Chains A and B, each alone.
Chain A
Amino acid sequence: MQGLQNGASMYAVDPRRTSSAKFADLWLGLELGSDVALANTVANYIVSNDLHNKEFIAHSTTGFDAYVESLSEYTLEHGEALTGVPAAAIAEMATAYATAEKAQILWTLGITEHHNAVDNVLSLCNLALLTGHVGRWGSGLVPLRGQNNVQGGGDMGALPNKLPGFQNITDPEHRGKFEKVYGKEIPAEDGIHLTLMFEAMERGEITAAYVIGENPADSEADIAHARKLLKGLDLLVVQDIFLTRTAELADVVLPASVGWAECDGTVTSSERRVQRVRAAVPPPGLARHDQDILRDLAHLLDYPEWGDPTPEDLWEELRSLSPLHGGMTYDRLEAEGGLQWPCPDLDHPGSPFLHGWLWEPDLGGRAGAPFSPVVAQGPKEQRTEEFPLWMTTGRSLDSYNTGVQSGQMNSPIRYGNALDMNPADAAQLNLVDGETVKVSSPRGSVEMPIRVQPDIPVGLTFTTFHFPELVDINQLTNDAWDKRSGTAEFKAASIRVEKLVTA
């Protein structure tokens, strides 16, 4: 917002007219799931009007010709038809983006919670490559993270194919480095991600699960299916700070402590900034630190080499193994207000942005960044006569995920579990604001109140997933998922809204 005060332009692209959209120069209210169509149309317009950065493209990218060819059908007229956004608005945004000295594309789950999530992301990367808005001060591609440490989780190797510092499990050299420190052999094959785990449960290949700090029994798409699979496990261990719906299904519950208020350690924010968290209060009752639970488990599993490390000991080990973090001591993190990786050595100031090498006069023999032609697909599920409305899910300011944490705060601005609907749609269905209705998708039905909202376009509805105890909204969402990212299409389901029959 301070950037806008200082004269920056902002274009908001969202099916809903969000709070951010109200501060934007222009709101592009695109059709649900038409993100690739919009990006490709913007790209076509930039190239057709000779607004692309030819020097950067020639020097720092590959695959430009094939990319341009893939754009041919995305004319302004066709783009308008595919996205519902007026051609003039697309042209204005494309011109502003291409001619800006510095420009960023910021996105969150509206891009990634689709069955073609990776295509959505690639289509935005293409725009940055086309205009040179990447790898330098003030320009870039900025995926905003939804948790304080989802970045740090990935950085620390909580990915099925990576060791800490994004080193590959399948690379014997990387693996060997860790094996030497751990004193144990590491399985040489990639593991599988959450979505594939549920599929493996279905096939009976996974029969036990150890869930730490996650509530999949509320958060998965097509939730009835996910709960059935969790219930069918031979063993479910849940380590959490609350008795969540998932923990209620568990054979063993290990009470844990609150990471940011009861433990010492680090977290890593969206901008790759590693910062210290510190214990301010003791954990209640029998709750224990995650690292203590894991240490005891390691000892019980006959691995005494684990020892009894402090959080700082663990961090020092990480520094010795992950070149990205090599220069980040606890002292530096404290003194410098956090550091952004890569920070390979003690003299390195940290890195505010990535991909600066694309602007080096000599790329050092590296191939440039590749353009990735992508085709617009739209949502997996289409509206039908039986399910004539779109439903998209998201968040509201004062709530968080499945509400386990934020539900404890008595927020004066919480409006609860309503389905937001355009006044015209409500009128057509003879519904009034606050009325409880039956909402059905091809996967299930729930009852919930509606909230008449002029900021929601006709044909679209919106609700949050913060109140699963009130409305089990993920009974309706679509678990069609992107095979590359493992993310389900929470953002687009077809639904029907019906008046409740009064007795």
Chain B
Amino acid sequence: MTIAETTTENPDETPIETSVTLTINGSPVTVDQGQTVLDACTSAGIDTPTLCYAENLTPVNACRVCVVEQEGSRTLVPSCSRKAEDGMEIQTDSPRVRHSRKMVLEFLGSGVDMSQAYQVHRWMDEYGADPGRYGPEAARIREDVKVQDDLYIRDYDKCILCYKCVEACGDDAQMTFAISASGRGFDARISTEFDVTLPDSACVYCGNCVGVCPTGAIQFKTEFDMRQADNWKPEEQTVTQTVCSYCGVGCNLELHVQDEKIVKVTSPADHSVTHGHLCIKGRFGWTYVQPTIERR
């Protein structure tokens, strides 16, 4: 590096010079090059159902609920990973798209407990999905909730195998690789190595898996206990953004408060410091604010 070559600008941040224009449901939409069809739909104010997508994870294309119809494409395309291109013609509300989304939601809903996937309820209504029509005999996991420590629980009856937790535990965030998919077909599960308990696994309890789980299959123990006691009231909760106290990184926290008590902590996925990811102290270290032993 020479004196003449050095500037104060970030050389890796090439300014976006090109935008692309595509057509969505007949209307032109312009987005920056590199953005996805989902981004374009969102910027056009179109509500797109997603389950395995998260803005702070790499798309895995597992759930297929975000599919759209693309002119010239034989199959429906997942909008969360397909990059927007000039001249693309996209239909998000065609009979074929609606039918596909309905089937995905029905199949998931018939085999999995979606009762705590609140977003999904809205989409089920929107697409007329009726998981009940497969009857009470539809295959379900129905295994006991795994409660192995005081920080979080795993309830695989709620797991749709979206892989977000695996990604967050692995190379999208934590690089711990404590969980992965084991088994095949209906027996596939997200599991620790050799299905050991979480405390015995490689888990470092960052809770980034809890942060991205869309159905409550991995859940804060605080939330689980309050739900068991029928005292979980999200509609009464406030969310306050602040900064973690435990080190100098500056992770942003969202404190979820019910009845003047912190009940869980999340982190905003769109914040530049850690993009929604935390460590064990940030996500679970808040208990001293309202200790079980009286603060003297």
Contact = CB atoms under 8 A, between A and B. Distances in A.
Contact of A147 (B175, B198, B248): B248
A275 B149 contact: no
A404 B245 CA distance: 13
Contact of B243 (A56, A276, A282, A356): A276
Given A146-B248, A397-B204, A413-B280, A269 B273 contact: yes
Interface bin, chain B: 35 or more
Given A138-B12, A255-B296, A279-B240, 4 more contacts: A53-B1, A137-B10, A408-B285, A409-B280
25 contacts: A60-B3, A101-B1, A136-B1, A136-B8, A145-B247, A147-B246, A148-B246, A262-B289, A273-B273, A275-B250, A275-B252, A276-B241, A277-B243, A280-B238, A280-B242, A281-B289, A282-B260, A400-B285, A404-B288, A406-B285, A408-B287, A410-B150, A412-B150, A413-B204, A413-B280
Contacts of B149: 410, 412
A412 B262 contact: no
Interface of A: 1, 5, 23, 53, 55-56, 59-60, 101, 132, 136-138, 144-148, 150-151, 241-243, 255, 258-262, 267, 269-271, 273, 275-282, 284-285, 287, 337-338, 352, 356, 359, 361, 397-400, 404-413
B284 A281 contact: no
A56 B288 contact: no
B2 interface: yes
Contacts of A278: 240-242
Q: Is the interface of A mostly helix, strand, loop or mixed?
A: loop
A413 B198 CA distance: 10
Contact of B287 (A132, A243, A409): A409
Interface string B254-296: 0101001110000000011100000111001111111110011
B285 A56 contact: no
B1 A132 contact: yes
A1 B208 CA distance: 15
A243 to B, nearest CB: 4
Please indicate which of the listed interface residues B244, B253, B285, B292 has the most CB atoms of chain A within 10 Å of its own CB.
B285
Contacts of B273: 269, 273, 337-338
Contact of B244 (A136, A148, A287): A148
Please indicate which of the listed interface residues B2, B9, B148 has the most CB atoms of chain A within 10 Å of its own CB.
B2
Q: Is the interface of B mostly helix, strand, loop or mixed?
A: loop
A285 B290 CA distance: 11
A-B complex: 9 closest residue pairs judged by Cβ atoms: A145-B248, A269-B250, A270-B248, A280-B240, A408-B288, A412-B149, A280-B255, A412-B199, A359-B6
A356 B289 contact: no
Interface of B: 1-4, 6, 8-12, 148-151, 171, 175, 198-199, 203-205, 238, 240-250, 252-253, 255, 257, 260-262, 271-273, 279-281, 284-292, 295-296
Contact of A261 (B9, B150, B255): B255
A305 to B, nearest CB: 31
Contacts of B148: 412
B76 to A, nearest CB: 31
A275 B243 contact: yes
A279 B242 CA distance: 8
A451 B120 CA distance: 48
Contacts of A137: 8-12
